[in-house]
Amino acid sequence: MEIAHPYLLFLGDVPDALAAKTALGIVDWRPEWCLGQFRLPGCAADAKLPDMTIAEAAAAGVRTMVVGAVNAGGVLPDHWVVPIVEALHTGLDVASGLHMRLADDPEIRAAAERTGRKLHDVRHTSERFPTGKGTKRPGLRLLTVGTDCSVGKKYTALALEKAMRARGYAADFRATGQTGVFISGRGVAIDAVVADFISGAVEWIAPAADPDHWDLVEGQGSLFHPSFAGVSLGLLHGAQPDAFVVCHEPTRTRMRGVQHPLPSIAEVIDLTVRCGRLTNPAIRCVGIAINTEHLNDVDAAHTIAAAADAHGLPASDPIRFGLEPIVDEIERHWPR
């Protein structure tokens, strides 16, 4: 799926910033694609963009309105349908991260058919993928993996894209989750693909490329998460990464949504190498990204230094300290 930009971010009338976190993530990483926000009366979220009407957005060159907020229950409220239909009639495509498909609403479907505009439901995919082949393809790839879900895998891949481009690498973030798809304007929410096609979809997301081009593939879940490890393994095999970075949140004691303790970083490195060798025998770990947001400065620095020491790898917090040490490691193994 390819989503045309620039975007108008639709925030609805959500009660807090958390409900608009998809929109806020897009602004963080693609401010140049976000020309404005459209809010309904009572909206408590603010992406710090100019407020625009849909007509103003179209006049400013916006091509897609992104529904970047979720209301309680994740369904599409009736009073959001009116602006979505208006956007279609004004010549914009509409993209949504809601669980419910836009096209399942009869008014929206009719408006899209009448106007010929596109509806993108990034949590769903109608794309038919071949099954994965596991054949080595040209180009270099890095995958972010995790000790758990929601530990910074998307953020780390995006921060690496920025840092590597700054050093002159040809490098592209490759999205595998819904916010990532909005940020890159392309990709597939891999957890929504039919199980048989996980690795095949990733082969499509990160296709053959120039020998010195880097795909920075957003990881999902964890090989040690009892709910989602199948997704993580299919993603690892499809991405066939040359390099991977382990993402970790050191204050977490249980894996998200279940009772299982977190695996150690060493266990994640070891199992990732072991399974990853199937489609890339040269796979190696190039660093550890630690999310230290819940630690004070002293503890953060100590935790990072201890991880680097224990594993003989560069470690950092991408937000607090940047990923230069990990890019150094990449440069050491794969000089430009």
| Contact pattern for a copy of itself over residues 148 through 177, marking x by CB under 8 A | ------------------------------
State how far the Cα of 236 lies from the Cα of 257, in Å rounded to an integer.
22
Residue 181 C-beta: closest distance to a copy of itself, Å = 15
| Per CB under 8 A, 14 contacts a copy of itself | no
Q: Which residue has the tokens 């009366």?
A: 41
Q: Is 217 helix (H, G, I), strand (E, B) or coil?
A: strand
| Per CB under 8 A, 298 contacts a copy of itself | no
Cα atoms in the Cβ-side hemisphere of radius 13 Å centred on 170:
7
User: Per CB under 8 A, which region of 33-41, 129-137, 301-309, 319-327 contacts a copy of itself?
Assistant: 129-137
Q: For a copy of itself, which residue of 44, 194, 282, 310 counts as binding (CB under 8 A)?
A: 194
| Per CB under 8 A, 71 contacts a copy of itself | no
Question: 150 or 227: whose CB is closer to a copy of itself?
Answer: 227
Q: Which of residues 209-228 bind a copy of itself (CB under 8 A)?
A: 223-224, 226-228
| Per CB under 8 A, 260 contacts a copy of itself | yes
| Contact pattern for a copy of itself over residues 225 through 244, marking x by CB under 8 A | -xxxxxxxxxx-x-------
| Per CB under 8 A, 283 contacts a copy of itself | no
User: Per CB under 8 A, which region of 24-32, 80-88, 103-111, 126-134 contacts a copy of itself?
Assistant: 126-134
User: Per CB under 8 A, which region of 27-35, 37-45, 164-172, 184-192 contacts a copy of itself?
Assistant: 184-192
Cα three-residue angle 153-223-287, rounded to 5 degrees:
45
State how far the Cα of 224 lies from the Cα of 217, in Å rounded to an integer.
19
Amino acid at 18: L
8 A C-beta contact, residue 192 and residue 223 = no
Q: How far apart are the first and last CA of the chain?
A: 31
| Per CB under 8 A, 190 contacts a copy of itself | yes
Q: For a copy of itself, which residue of 116, 195, 253, 335 counts as binding (CB under 8 A)?
A: 195
The reply to whether omega before 6 is within 30° of 0 (cis) is yes
State how far the Cα of 119 lies from the Cα of 219, in Å rounded to an integer.
26
Q: Is 67 helix (H, G, I), strand (E, B) or coil?
A: strand
User: Per CB under 8 A, which region of 86-94, 151-159, 190-198, 289-297 contacts a copy of itself?
Assistant: 190-198
State how far the Cα of 251 lies from the Cα of 151, in Å rounded to an integer.
11
Q: Tell me the angle at which helices 78-89 and 106-115 cross, rounded to the nearest 10 degrees.
A: 0
Q: Which residues bind a copy of itself (CB under 8 A)?
A: 131-135, 190-196, 198-200, 223-224, 226-235, 237, 257-260, 271, 274-275, 278-279
